[in-house]
Chains A and B, each alone.
Chain A
Amino acid sequence: MGDRTDLRNFCIIAHIDHGKSTLADRLLEATGTLQAREMHDQVLDSMDLERERGITIKAQAVRLEYATQDERFVLNLIDTPGHVDFSYEVSRSLAACEGALLVIDAAQGVEAQTLANLYLALEHDLEIIPVINKIDLPQADPERVRQELLQIGLDPEQAIEASAKDGTGVADILEAVVERVPPPGGDSEAPLKALIFDSHFDAYRGVVCHIRVVDGRIRSGQRIRLMATDAAYEVTDLGVFRPQPTPVEALSAGEVGYFAAGIKVVRDARVGDTVTTAERGAAEPLAGYRPAVPMVFAGLYPSEPSHYDLLREALERLQLNDGALSFEPETSGALGFGFRCGFLGLLHLEIVQERLEREYDIDLVVTAPSVVYTVHYLDGRVERIENPAALEMGRGVDRIEEPYVAATLITPTSFVGPVMELCQERRGIFRTIEYPSPERAVLSYELPLGEIMYDFFDQLKSRTRGYASLDYQLAGEREGDLVRVDLLLNGEMVDALSFIVHEGRAQSQGRAVCEKLREVIPRQLFDVPIQAAVGGKVLARETIRALRKDVLAKCYGGDITRKRKLLEKQKEGKKRMRRLGQVEVPQEAFMAVLRRGD
């Protein structure tokens, strides 16, 4: 037992849309941390993008003050990201807590992310408080959810029924946090060990690290050291979030807060790193640190070649705040100068793309994302291929390995067939099937990451009428019969369109991409053949027929303005196109590979 028996550190975990953010808002309101009039929905999600997409991208922490009749407590609510792209960040947030509210939608029941998050929380020995949320819904079925809780090893009696929407059960939840979540352990007299569970960039203070002090004490003005990077800094700001940043003199074992120390980029204060004192610091860092490993790579090119420097600056700025984003300059025959960027997943890619376009006003051409392949050459060389165009096909390649994930799929039993069929189509390796309740099946598969990146989730949803859910984590690499499919436009290979795919699906996917390209590339003044080829052998072909007519017949009653505007609009659209050889190609063509479907 530590010295702060009034402290409770907890988080909320849930499947997407089960009401996590709304519950967080209610807790802030109920503890008077924010007045109702200050509340705007989902206070904790501070980025616009987060609010628009209804997902939590960056974890945050807020300090709540809660009093029972005879005791006062400090509750630290640590928010966690809710998407599989950010599961490492989730695990670090969990490591900063002693308890978790497991929020389950009373109508939807246990879903894949519920399970994945529960297992993660149990790995961190967290006290779990199940919350059956949305009991105000007409289709709510709390009894069924209790059954499912039993099946997944939780005590249904311990579950709290609540409605974050109307406030039902919020008082019980606060009570349970105080009663059931243990106070933090740790020794304030031991050498400092604090876990960075999040960080963000602030224009004035540099990187602001969100920390949980595990042992010892951190003080304003202290010299500290980040153990993974072994860099030393001086603490310039120290405080807690209420939720506004509020300075404090010191944070001791068990406490949660933030510090700034003139750290220039978020990457230097990586989530999961351990903070200790520069002098007589801790000998061993906290367990569980992992460097950011991008899973998905894509080329980002400025539509306007002269915006290359702007793009680099924007990426550098984004990286200040996003330690998982990586980028390297690359050159494409088709697209010119750009960057090969690494992302945690497709959602991360989309967020970065949107921020570049929205916040930095840079028009981008984004190539189809690819996973990383490990290529073993006969001469013993091993290469990591982040860009399909870099793969040297043909002789010399011994084998290619691709990343796999261990996927958990939860579905109503009536859809087990379609789910298995989908996994089979995507080269899945069946592992187990379990039935936590008579209506629900939990399937485990190993699947190639490259096969589930694009439309797997959409397919899963459409084949199960939206009922199935998915969660996955990386599970090593396996050898595959992989080939690179090249696309030729007007006889010229377009490197930015190449993709790597399983041999058995090369032809069907090559054809699908050709068809997509034919749809999205406007007609030119001449016929444009589109071909898909593997190693020079053409698998599929389409032709964009030449444009024959592009003129309005009549000028009606002297209305020149309308015609000219049509024409100007047409010209404006063209400015957004890329010229590949003689062919004008719109930006969406480079994403055609993404939508190749089956």
Chain B
Amino acid sequence: MTEPLGVYLHMPYCPYKCHYCDFNAYRLPPRPGVLAEMAEGIAEEVRRAGGEDRGREVGSIYFGGGTPSLFPPDRIAALIDLVRRRYEVRRGAEVTLECNPGTVDLASLRALRRAGVTRLSLGAQSFSQETLRRLGRGHSPDDTRRVVRLAREAGFHRLNIDVIYGLPESTREEARADAEEALALRPDHLSAYALELEDGTYFGVLVRRGQLALPSDAEVVASGEAVAAACHEAGLERYEISNFARPGQRSRHNLLYWHQGDYRGFGPGAHSHFAGRRFWNVDGPGPYLRSVAVQGEAVAGEEVLSPAGRRGEWVYLHLRLIDGFTLAAFHRRFGLSLDEAYPGVRRQLERQGLLEHRPGRVQPSPSGRWLLHRVAEPFLP
């Protein structure tokens, strides 16, 4: 029953902060040794942090950020090595690194490949120079194309490309054109995210002031569907709201999240889920490093859900998957049937057209996918 563990390493620095970003990411301070210090801190946490997770079998490692590709490949190699010492990393484990075009060259890509990275996730975001400029990205569409070429040359076969749609004043045609440009690079995986406005970001402020207009929800939905259609034509199947992959190339690490699986996060603000408990590290690099130096870990908070809370969360997460989940899987996991746990809810959602009528399976309808929070709501405590 134990699915292999996932390991997440959060590399919090970026060369610049994008206009839409509210992630736990920080502009790289112009001070020598910052990256080394951080890499050392994370290494320290991997070495010393307590927990019963030691020795578990690991199926995926994921370097997220920030911009992990800012870190020298030997630091990445050292971290992978430490993860191997702490855990039992499976042969053929998926090792992903998020990489921004413009931060790597052939030599560094080769070094990353040698270090054991098997999969690159490229933050392309858009293939329009104008859009990239407006997003505050520091690279061009050609940088993205070049890095794909170099990655292949360096031996990476598994490539994900990230794109964003639903940008201010954008249309479904633009979203589709962008996706087609990305697909022309023949990635085996594509993540297409609708822009989310967050308070405190540059975009958030502009929209609130009325200086920037977002497309209507209907246009955003149409844009997402246009991206999905382009992916389908290119042979990438949608398996989660925002994720598309060639057969067999789904992101094992991300699937863990949707399966309510176990993962262990290291680095500032990293989240872990282990043995029914969710916990997370302090966000800021400074406090994180100080805490790790003293205690060997930097846990800031935790959450243990009630049984009903866990059930609701499991359903909510699985509903993000295009195939949803089977009634049998729910029963296996919780020892009671969905109808016992939530009497009448499934039928009601089917009647509202939010769930497909499929025997034995709970699966969001095409419109239900976009209204997932409505679909999930009745399952929450």
A1 within 8 A of partner (CB): no
Is there contact, CB below 8 Å, between B380 and A567?
yes
Cα distance A120–B352 when bound, in Å?
64
B205 within 8 A of partner (CB): no
B330 within 8 A of partner (CB): no
Is there contact, CB below 8 Å, between B8 and A551?
no
Is there contact, CB below 8 Å, between B263 and A558?
yes
Is there contact, CB below 8 Å, between A560 and B265?
no
Cα distance A568–B241 when bound, in Å?
20
Is there contact, CB below 8 Å, between B371 and A561?
no
B196: chain A residues within 8 A (beta carbon):
552-554
Looking at A46-54, A97-105, A151-159, A542-550, the stretch in contact with chain B turns out to be: A542-550
B195: chain A residues within 8 A (beta carbon):
553
Known: A557-B271, A571-B380. A564 touches B64 (CB 8 A): no
Known: A548-B221, A552-B196. A557 touches B372 (CB 8 A): no
A547: chain B residues within 8 A (beta carbon):
217, 371, 374
State the majority secondary structure of interface residues on B.
mixed
Name, among A551, A556, A564, the residue most crowded by chain B CB atoms within 10 Å (CB to CB): A551
Set B220, B271, B316: member contacting A564, Cβ < 8 A: B316
Query: How many Å from the CB of A236 to the closest CB on chain B?
Result: 53
Near B by CB (< 8 A), chain A positions 554-598 give 554-561, 564, 567-568, 570-571, 574
Is there contact, CB below 8 Å, between A567 and B373?
yes
A525 within 8 A of partner (CB): yes
Cα distance A557–B273 when bound, in Å?
11
Set A550, A557, A567: member contacting B64, Cβ < 8 A: A557
Name, among A525, A567, A574, the residue most crowded by chain B CB atoms within 10 Å (CB to CB): A567
B369 within 8 A of partner (CB): yes
Near B by CB (< 8 A), chain A positions 77-100 give none
Set A551, A558, A564: member contacting B369, Cβ < 8 A: A551
Known: A547-B371, A549-B220. A568 touches B352 (CB 8 A): no
A568: chain B residues within 8 A (beta carbon):
380-381
Is there contact, CB below 8 Å, between B241 and A551?
yes
Is there contact, CB below 8 Å, between A553 and B193?
yes
A564: chain B residues within 8 A (beta carbon):
312-313, 316, 380
B318 within 8 A of partner (CB): no
Cα distance A467–B377 when bound, in Å?
51
Residue of A nearest to B256 (CB): A558
Cα distance A559–B380 when bound, in Å?
17
B303 within 8 A of partner (CB): yes
Is there contact, CB below 8 Å, between A560 and B271?
yes
B376 within 8 A of partner (CB): yes
B123 within 8 A of partner (CB): no
Is there contact, CB below 8 Å, between B280 and A559?
yes
Cα distance A555–B258 when bound, in Å?
9
B257 within 8 A of partner (CB): yes
Is there contact, CB below 8 Å, between A558 and B8?
yes
Is there contact, CB below 8 Å, between A558 and B217?
no
Cα distance A525–B353 when bound, in Å?
10
B77 within 8 A of partner (CB): no
Known: A559-B280, A560-B313, A571-B380. A551 touches B370 (CB 8 A): yes
Is there contact, CB below 8 Å, between B370 and A548?
yes
Is there contact, CB below 8 Å, between A556 and B23?
yes
Name, among A558, A559, A564, the residue most crowded by chain B CB atoms within 10 Å (CB to CB): A558
| Chain A interfacial residues counted at CB < 8 A | 22
Is there contact, CB below 8 Å, between A567 and B257?
no
B324 within 8 A of partner (CB): no
Name, among A553, A557, A568, the residue most crowded by chain B CB atoms within 10 Å (CB to CB): A557
Is there contact, CB below 8 Å, between B221 and A561?
no
Near B by CB (< 8 A), chain A positions 472-523 give none
Contact bitstring B235-274, A, C-beta under 8 A = 1, else 0? 0000001100000000000000110000101000111110
Is there contact, CB below 8 Å, between B313 and A551?
no
B242: chain A residues within 8 A (beta carbon):
553-554
Residue of A nearest to B166 (CB): A553
A558: chain B residues within 8 A (beta carbon):
8, 257, 263, 265, 270-273
Cα distance A571–B316 when bound, in Å?
13
Query: How many Å from the CB of B168 to the closest CB on chain A?
Result: 16
B218 within 8 A of partner (CB): yes
Cα distance A525–B265 when bound, in Å?
38
Cα distance A564–B221 when bound, in Å?
22
A551: chain B residues within 8 A (beta carbon):
241, 369-373
Query: How many Å from the CB of B158 to the closest CB on chain A?
Result: 20
Is there contact, CB below 8 Å, between A557 and B8?
yes
A567: chain B residues within 8 A (beta carbon):
316, 373, 376-377, 380
A548: chain B residues within 8 A (beta carbon):
216-218, 220-221, 370-371
Is there contact, CB below 8 Å, between A525 and B217?
no
B23: chain A residues within 8 A (beta carbon):
556-557
Query: How many Å from the CB of B319 to the closest CB on chain A?
Result: 9
Residue of A nearest to B165 (CB): A553
B193: chain A residues within 8 A (beta carbon):
553-554
B10 within 8 A of partner (CB): yes
Is there contact, CB below 8 Å, between B271 and A559?
yes
B317 within 8 A of partner (CB): yes
Is there contact, CB below 8 Å, between A560 and B273?
yes
Cα distance A547–B24 when bound, in Å?
30
Cα distance A568–B313 when bound, in Å?
10
Query: How many Å from the CB of A72 to the closest CB on chain B?
Result: 67
Cα distance A568–B8 when bound, in Å?
26
B8: chain A residues within 8 A (beta carbon):
557-558
Known: A550-B372, A553-B241, A555-B257. A561 touches B352 (CB 8 A): no
Query: How many Å from the CB of B238 to the closest CB on chain A?
Result: 13
Name, among B317, B352, B373, the residue most crowded by chain A CB atoms within 10 Å (CB to CB): B373
**What would be 19 A-B contacts, judged by CB atoms less than 8 Å apart?**
A525-B354, A549-B220, A551-B369, A551-B372, A552-B373, A553-B193, A553-B194, A553-B196, A553-B242, A557-B270, A558-B257, A558-B273, A559-B271, A560-B313, A561-B271, A561-B280, A567-B373, A568-B380, A568-B381
Closest 6 CB pairs of A and B: A551-B372, A553-B193, A549-B217, A548-B217, A553-B194, A558-B271
Interface of B toward A, CB cutoff 8 Å:
8, 10, 23-24, 64, 193-196, 216-218, 220-221, 241-242, 257-258, 263, 265, 269-273, 278, 280, 303, 312-313, 316-317, 320, 352, 354, 369-374, 376-377, 380-381
Q: A547-B217, A549-B217, A550-B374 provided; 14 other pairs, C-beta below 8 A?
A: A525-B352, A525-B354, A548-B218, A549-B371, A550-B373, A553-B195, A553-B196, A554-B242, A555-B320, A557-B10, A557-B271, A560-B271, A561-B271, A574-B377
